[in-house]
Structure 1
Amino acid sequence: MENKAHAMAAGAFVLVVTALLVLLAVWLTRDNTQRDLYDMSTSETVSGLQPQAAVRFRGVPVGKIELIGFDEKVKGNVLIRVSIDRGAPVTKSTFATVASQGVTGLGFIQLDDDGKSAERLAVNDDDPPRIPLKPGGLDKLLKQSEVIFNQVEEASTRLNKLLSDENQQAITAAVKQLGNAAGSMDRVAKGLEPTVASLPALSRDTTATLKSVKTAADDISTTATRLNEKGGPLDKLSEGGTALAAGVETFSAATLPKLGEVADETARAMRQMRRTVSAVDDNPQSLIFGNGPPVPGPGEPGFSASGVKK
Structure 2
Amino acid sequence: METRAHHVLIGAFTIGAFVLALAFVLWMSKTGVDQRYADYDIVFTEAVSGLSVGGLVQYNGIKVGEVRELHLAADDPRKVVARVRLDAAAPVKEDTRAKLALQGVTGLSFIQLSGGAPGSPPLLPTREHPVPVIPSEESALSKLLASGSDIVVTANDLLLRMGEILSADNVDRISATLEHLDALSGALAEQRGDIATAVHQLAEATAAMKKTLATIDTVANSTNALVRDDARKLIQTADAALASVNKMAESAGLLVDDNRAAIGAFSNQGLRQIGPTVLELRETLRSLKQLSDKLGASDSLLLGRDQPKEFQPQ
Q: Could you tell me the TM-score, scaled by structure 2's length?
A: 0.51
Q: Structure 1 196/50 Cα, relative in aligned 2: closer, same or farther at 3 Å?
A: closer
Structure 2 unaligned blocks of 5 or more: 1-24, 273-314
**Equivalenced residues, count:** 237
Kindly tell me: are residues 182 and 220 of structure 1, through their superposed partners in 2, closer, same or farther at Cα, counting changes over 3 Å? same
Q: How has the CA–CA distance of structure 1 residues 124 and 46 changed in structure 2, closer, same or farther, with 3 Å as cutoff?
A: farther
Contact residue 62 and residue 88 of structure 1 kept, 8 A = no
What is the CA deviation profile of residues 223-259 of structure 1, one whole-angstrom value per residue up to 9, with x for unaligned ones? 999989xxxx98xx78994895486156324312234
Q: 1:101 to 1:175 in 2, by over 3 A?
A: closer
Partner of 1:257: 257
Shift of 1:160: 0.8
Query: Is 1:64 matched up with 2:66?
Result: yes
Q: Call closer, same or farther: CA 1:32–1:144 in 2, change over 3 Å.
A: same
SS at match of 2:148: helix
CA distance in 1, matches of 2:78, 2:212: 97
Q: Are 2:151 and 1:148 equivalent residues in the alignment?
A: yes
Change (3 A) 1:249 1:59: same
Supply the AA of the counterpart residue of 2:50.
S
Distance in 2 separating the partners of 1:94 and 1:219:
82
Distance change (3 Å), C-alpha of 1:35 and 1:245: same
* SS of match in other structure, 1:80: strand
Conserved in 1, the CA contact under 8 Å of 2:57 and 2:67?
Answer: yes
2:166 maps to what in 1? Answer: 163
Distance in 1, matches of 2:114 and 2:224, equals 86
Three-state SS of the structure 1 residue aligned to 2:134 is coil
Segments of structure 1 that go 5 or more residues without pairing to the other structure are 1-22, 274-310
Contact in 2 for aligned 1:46/1:98 (Cα 8 Å): no
Q: 1:198 to 1:255 in 2, by over 3 A?
A: same
CA distance 1:76–1:227, shift in 2 (3 Å): closer
- How far apart are the structure 1 equivalents of 2:73 and 2:59? 24
Q: Does the 8 Å CA contact 2:91/2:122 hold for their aligned counterparts?
A: no
CA contact (8 A) 2:99 2:136 kept: yes
Deviation for aligned residue 1:161: 0.5
Q: Distance in 2 between matches of 1:216 and 1:74?
A: 93
Q: Distance in 2 between matches of 1:69 and 1:33?
A: 25
Separation in 2, partners of 1:153, 1:190: 52
* Partners of 1:37 and 1:123 within 8 A in 2: no
Match for residue 113 of structure 2?
111
Moved more, 94-103 or 175-184: 175-184
How many angstroms apart in 2 are the aligned matches of 1:240 and 1:95? 97
Amino acid at match of 1:96: A
Equivalence for 2:142: 139
Summarize deviations over 1:186-237 as a string: whole Å, max 9, x none. 7887667766666688789879988998998999899999989xxxx98xx7
User: In proportion to residue count, which structure has more helix?
Assistant: 2
1:112-165, CA deviations, whole angstroms, 9 ceiling, x for partnerless residues? Answer: 3498x9565551598424333344332322222222122111111111110001
Report sequence identity in percent: 20
Q: Report the secondary structure of 2:91's partner residue.
A: coil
Q: What is the TM-score with the length of structure 1 in the denominator?
A: 0.52
- Relative to 1, partners in 2 of residues 1:264 and 1:178: Cα closer, same or farther, differing over 3 Å? farther
